[in-house]
């Protein structure tokens, strides 16, 4: 009977030691994951693949992403959706590449088929033409506007 009590104590100590070791391993893995996920990346470069008629500068402006801003996947998703909602693309996808604390975003796009359309705005006597054009350029996702 005394031998059984001793073996039970040994088992209990071994079980406690295993539990402590397992807890330390899980804690170490969890804290490493937390540190990696907390690393702040800045957007270092924004590129486009597949542009035919549109300029990368105009599409960056349309996406509202800025070089140097803190990288956030949810903000990137919103930017990709904004590009898609512009009606200028049939497909929009992206990939990212991290280098130290900088991240490069590459949009892979397929432009929608369509031609240029002429639009005539007439009788805007309450605003100057330059003021109106500035407002239009701010709102319209592409910049191929000219006066006729």
Give yes or no: residues 93 and 47 share one domain: yes
User: How do the residues of the chain divide into helix, strand and coil, expressed in percent and rounded to 5?
Assistant: 45, 20, 35
pLDDT averaged over 10-residue windows placed end to end, the chain, 148 residues: 56 71 70 52 95 90 93 93 89 93 95 71 68 71 53
CATH of the domain at 46: 3.10.20.310
Give yes or no: residues 83 and 108 share one domain: yes
Give yes or no: residues 100 and 57 share one domain: yes
| Per-residue model confidence (pLDDT) at position 117 | 62
Domain contains 138: no
Q: Which domain holds residue 19?
A: 1-38
Hey, how many other C-beta atoms are within 10 angstroms of the C-beta on 9? 10
Domain contains 104: yes
Q: Which two tokens stand for residue 32?
A: 């490493």
Domain contains 147: no
Give yes or no: residues 71 and 112 share one domain: yes
| Per-residue model confidence (pLDDT) at position 115 | 59
Give yes or no: residues 107 and 48 share one domain: yes
Give yes or no: residues 62 and 25 share one domain: no
| Per-residue model confidence (pLDDT) at position 35 | 43
Give yes or no: residues 26 and 48 share one domain: no
What's the domain count of the chain? Answer: 2
**Rounded to two decimals, what is the model's pTM?**
0.58
- Among residues 45, 99, 96, the alpha carbon closest in space to that of 69 is found at 45
Give yes or no: residues 33 and 16 share one domain: yes
């Amino acid at each position: 009977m005394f031998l059984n009590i001793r073996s039970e104590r040994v088992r209990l100590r071994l079980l406690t030691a295993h539990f402590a070791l397992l807890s330390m391993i899980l804690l170490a893995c969890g804290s490493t994951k937390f540190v990696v996920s907390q690393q702040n990346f800045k957007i270092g470069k924004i590129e486009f693949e597949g542009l035919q008629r549109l300029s990368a500068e105009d599409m960056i402006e349309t996406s509202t992403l800025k070089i140097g801003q803190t990288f956030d996947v949810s903000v990137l998703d919103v930017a990709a959706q904004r590009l898609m909602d512009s009606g200028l693309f049939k497909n929009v996808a992206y990939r990212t590449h991290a280098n130290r604390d900088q991240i490069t975003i590459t949009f892979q796009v397929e432009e929608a088929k369509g031609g240029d359309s002429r639009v005539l705005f007439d009788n805007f006597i309450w605003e100057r033409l330059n003021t109106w054009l500035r407002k239009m350029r701010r709102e319209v996702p592409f910049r191929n506007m000219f006066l006729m």
